[in-house]
Amino acid sequence: MHPHRNIYTASQNDAPLEDSLSGASLSAGSREGVAASFVATSPYQPSPHDYLIQHLSVGTCTQAEQKIILNDVNLAIPHGKTLALVGESGSGKSLTALSIIQLLPTGLAYGDKSQIYVDELSILDLPEHAMQQVRGKNIGFIFQEPMTALNPVLTIGQQLAETLTWHHIAVQNISSKGQVKSYINKAFSNLQKDQYHFLAALLFSLGITEPMRCLHCYPHQLSGGMKQRVMIAMALVAEPSFLIADEPTTAVDVTVQAQILSLLRQIQKERALSMLFITHDLSVVKQVADDIAVMYRGQIVEYADVATFFGSPQHPYSQQLFAAIPSYEKRGCLLPVLGEEGGIKLSPLSKEQDNQVLLEVKDLCIYFPIKQGLFRRTVEVVKAVDNVSFQLCGGETLAVVGESGSGKTTLAKAIMGLLTISSGNILYADSAVEFSKKSDIQMVFQDPYSSLNPKMLVADIIVEGLRARGERIKNAAKLPAVFKLLDQVGLPKESCNRYPHEFSGGQRQRIAIARALILSPKILLLDEPTSALDLSMQAQVLNLLKTLQQELQLSYLFITHNLSVMSYFADRALVMQNGHLVEQGSIESILFSPEHLYTQTLVKYAQV
C-alpha cells in the first residue's frame, strides 16, 4: 500500500472494458495474454537501467461507485530508449503520463496494486514534498500545448530560471559568448547572471539562434516552433534522466515537426535519456520510437517493437488505426471509422465536378505596415500575402499547404472580408465579392472550441448566421432547419440544447460545420479543420466533408499542413511560402513531380 496516495481497492466486479472493434472483446483471457507477452519480453524487477510501470490502475476513489479509467497498465522503458504510447483521444494516454508524476485530477485514485519506479525510486511511496523534487529533477515533462503550459505574465527567462532556483541547481562557471554574454551582463542582476548564461547556452543548443532575445520575450511573442523549443528547454534544464513528451508535435507543420523530432533524437543520444513519447500520429512513432504500446479505453492492447508493429499489427484496433490513415491510394473512398461494425472496409464515393469558376483571386496582396516612433512612421512592411492568383471551380477541393506563417489563414480571412487587401481582386461568380454574397462563402475555423461561444446553446450557435443576416428567430431549438443540419453532420437533435464544452473535439468541429452550412453556401473555407484531431475523429470529419460535398455540391478551399490529408482529400493544391505562391497544380504533380525546392522539402518531410 502507498501511505501518501489516495487508493482504491479493485473488486472482483472490475471487468475489463468491452472492445467494439470487429466483434473483438478485451476479455480477462486476452488481457492476460497481452500481459504475458509483455512479461516475456520486458524486465519487471526495478533496476537503475529501466523505468517501470506495473499494474497501474486509476479510477474514482468513492466506494459507492467505482469507475476504472486505467486498467492494469504495464510499461517498461529501457535506459536510453523511447517507448511510444499511442491511441485515440480519451484512451488514457495523458492520464498515464500524469499518473507517473502524481498529478492525478481531483477525485481519481491509484489502484492498490499500482507501482511506478523511476531511478530506483518507488514513485507512489513518495509524499508530495518529495515529489516536488522528483518533478523536473528526475522526470522532465513536455506538455501538449505550450501556449497554455507557459505562464503568459512571466518572461521565458524567468520561467526557466524558476526550475534552477527550485531545485537549487548551481550553474557557476557557465560561460556564454559574444553578444549573449554582453546582453546578460547588462539585463540581469549579479545573482541571475550565472543562471542566464547557462539558460542562453541551453536555448542556443536547442536551435534558438537569438537566445538573449528569447530570454526577455513573453510566450505570445514566440512562434509555435519556438514555444515548443522553450518547453523542451524547461523539461531539460534540471537534467532529468527520464523524459515524458505529451503530443509535442500536435498541430505544428511538417517542417517544424521534423525539426522537433530531430532535436529530441539528438538530445536523447547526447544525454542517454529514456523517453515516453505520447502521440496519435503513427508516422511520428516510426521516426522516434524503439517500442510501441497501443492503448484503447484505458488498457494496453498491443505491445511490440516498432519494426514488428509496422510490419504486422496484431490487434484489430491497431489494424484499424492504420486503415484510418488518409492517403492518396484511398481517394474516392470513405475512410473506415474506428469502432465501426464490420471491420476494415473502404466505401466508394462518387464525386461530381464542373469547370465553372466560382472563385477567382487575382494578384492578391496583403501587407501589414510596422510603425514605430513618436509619429508612428512606417519602418517596415510585412508581406503576409504577395501577388497570389488562383481559381476555384464548382464541386472542387483546392488545398492550400505550407508551413506556419506562410500566409494560408491570412488568405482565407481576406476572402471572407475579415482583412483589408492592399491590392488585387477577389471575384465570386465573375464579380467582386460583396456583403450580399458573403452567405455564399463561409468559413470553418481551425479551433472549434475557441470559435464557438461557450455561453450559447448549440441551436443558437448554428442560427447565428441567420440572425446576423437580419432574420428574427425566437426559439432556435425548435427550428426544423437546425434539426436537419444536425442530422446532416451526424449529431442527434438533442444536441441543440447543450453547450460546446459538453462535446468532444470532433463533435465541436461538426457543430462549426453546421453553423457554416445554415446559410446554404456554395464555398466553404476550411482552416485546418482536422489539425488537432486524432485519427478516429479526423476520419469522421473528412468522411463528413466528402459526403456533404457530394450531397450539396460544395466547393472547398482546404487549408492544411498535413500532406497525407491533402493527398486523400484534395483535387488540386497551392503551395505557399513566406506569403508567395511558389507552386500550384494537381495532387499528382505536387506529390510525385514537385518542381519547387520548397515543395520537394515538404513532400520529403511529410513521408506521404
- What Cα–Cα distance (Å) separates residue 286 from each residue in 11, 86, 97, 292, 347? 38, 12, 21, 9, 28
- State phi, psi for 215 to the nearest 5 degrees: -60, -30
Question: pLDDT higher for 607 or 422?
Answer: 422
User: What mean pLDDT do residues 399-405 have?
Assistant: 88
Q: Taking residues 502-516, report their average pLDDT.
A: 89
Q: Grid coordinates representing 36?
A: 504475458
- Summary mean pLDDT of the chain: 82
Amino acid identity at 22: S
Flag whether pLDDT at 263 surpasses 60: yes
pLDDT at residue 21 tops 80: no
Assign 153 a pLDDT band (cuts: 50, 70, 90): very high
DSSP state of 123: G
pLDDT in tens, 102-144: 999 888 899 989 999 988 889 999 999 899 889 988 999 998 7
Let me know: does 476 contact 459? Beta carbons within 8 Å: yes
Given pLDDT bands bounded at 50, 70 and 90, which one contains residue 63? low
Distance CA 607, CA 277 (A): 20
Model confidence at 24: pLDDT above 50: no
Geometric angle at alpha carbon 282, from 277 and 285, rounded to 5°: 40
Q: In the predicted model, is pLDDT for residue 548 greater than 60?
A: yes
pLDDT of residue 304: 94
Strands of 536-571, DSSP E: 555-560
pLDDT at 465: 87
Task: Give the count of alpha carbons within 13 A of 273, CB side only.
Answer: 30
CB atoms within 10 A of CB 140: 25
According to DSSP, the residues that pair with 296 across neighbouring strands are 299
315 pLDDT more than 90:
yes
Domain span including residue 461: 357-606
Give the least confident one: 2-11, 175-184, 436-445, 493-502: 175-184
Distance CA 6, CA 108 (A): 8
Rounded to 10 deg, the angle between the 224-236 and 156-166 helix axes is 10
| Residue 372 DSSP SS3 | strand
Share of the chain above pLDDT 90, in %: 39
Segment 463-489 shows an average pLDDT of 85
Residue whose C-alpha is closest to residue 513's, from 568, 550, 458, 455: 458
Among the listed residues 444, 438, 408, 409, the one whose alpha carbon sits nearest the alpha carbon of residue 426: 438
Q: Taking the model in full, what pTM does it have?
A: 0.79
> Considering only CA atoms, which of 324, 333, 336 is closest in space to residue 86?
324
Q: How confident is the model at residue 503 (pLDDT cuts 50, 70, 90)?
A: confident
Q: Of 86-90, 262-266, 521-525, which one has max mean pLDDT?
A: 521-525
Least confident of 24-38, 456-470, 502-516: 24-38
| pLDDT recorded at residue 173 | 42
**Is the model's pLDDT at 36 over the cut of 60?**
no
> E strands, 340-376, where?
347-348, 357-372
Confidence of residue 85 (pLDDT cuts 50, 70, 90): very high
- Give how many domains the chain has, as a whole number: 1
- Phi and psi at residue 258, to the nearest 5°: -60, -40
pLDDT of residue 6: 63
Model pLDDT, residue 370: 82
The three-state secondary structure class of 415 is: helix
Q: What percent of the chain has pLDDT over 70?
A: 82
Letter string b/e over residues 345-377, b meaning 16 or more CB atoms within 10 A of that residue's CB: eeeeeeeeeeeeebbbbeebbbbeeeeeeeeee
**How many angstroms separate the CA atoms of 124 and 110, rounded?**
9
pLDDT given at position 90: 82
pLDDT tens-digit series, residues 588-602: 999 999 999 999 988
Instruction: Give pLDDT, residue 17.
Output: 41
Q: Taking residues 237-259, report their average pLDDT.
A: 84
CB 487 within 8 A of CB 519: no
The residue behind cell 499528382 is 588
pLDDT tens digits, residue range 90-105?
Answer: 889 989 999 999 999 8
* pLDDT surpassing 60 at residue 435: no
Residue 179 pLDDT: 45
pLDDT of residue 362: 95
- The 10 Å CB-count burial string (b at 16+, else e) for 549-568 is beeeebbbbbbbbbbbbbbb
Residue 41 has pLDDT above 80, yes or no: no
> Residue 459's closest CA among 431, 438, 490, 480?
480
d(CA 335, CA 317): 15
Q: How is residue 494 annotated by DSSP?
A: G
Of 216-230, 534-548, 567-581, the one with minimum mean pLDDT is 216-230
Q: What CATH number should be reported for the domain holding residue 435?
A: 3.40.50.300
Q: Is the confidence at residue 318, as pLDDT, over 60?
A: yes
**Residue 539, domain member (yes or no):** yes
Better pLDDT: 34 or 518: 518
Question: Is 476 within the bounds of a domain?
Answer: yes
Give a yes or no: residue 44 inside a domain.
Answer: no
Residue 388 backbone phi and psi in degrees, to 5: -100, 135
Cα 469 to Cα 416: distance, rounded to the nearest angstrom:
15
More confident position, 14 or 329: 329
SS3 state of residue 512: helix
Beta strands in 429-505 (DSSP E): 431-432, 441-444
Q: Mean pLDDT, to the nearest integer, of 225-246?
A: 88
Q: What is the DSSP annotation of 145-213?
A: -HHHHS-TTS-HHHHHHHHHHHTT---TT----HHHHHHHHHHS-HHHHHHHHHHHHHHHHTT-S-HHH
Q: What would the DSSP string read from start to end of 17-76?
A: PPP-STT----HHHHHHHHHHHHHHS--S--TTEEEEEEEEEEE--SSS--EEEEEEEEE
pLDDT band (50, 70, 90) for residue 177: very low
The set of cell numbers assigned to 225 is 516552433
Residue range 188-198, pLDDT digits in tens:
444 466 777 88
- pLDDT, residue 228, reads 84
Burial of 338 (0-12, 13-18, 19+ CB in 10 A): buried
Identify the pLDDT of residue 167: 75
Give the pLDDT score at 433.
Answer: 61
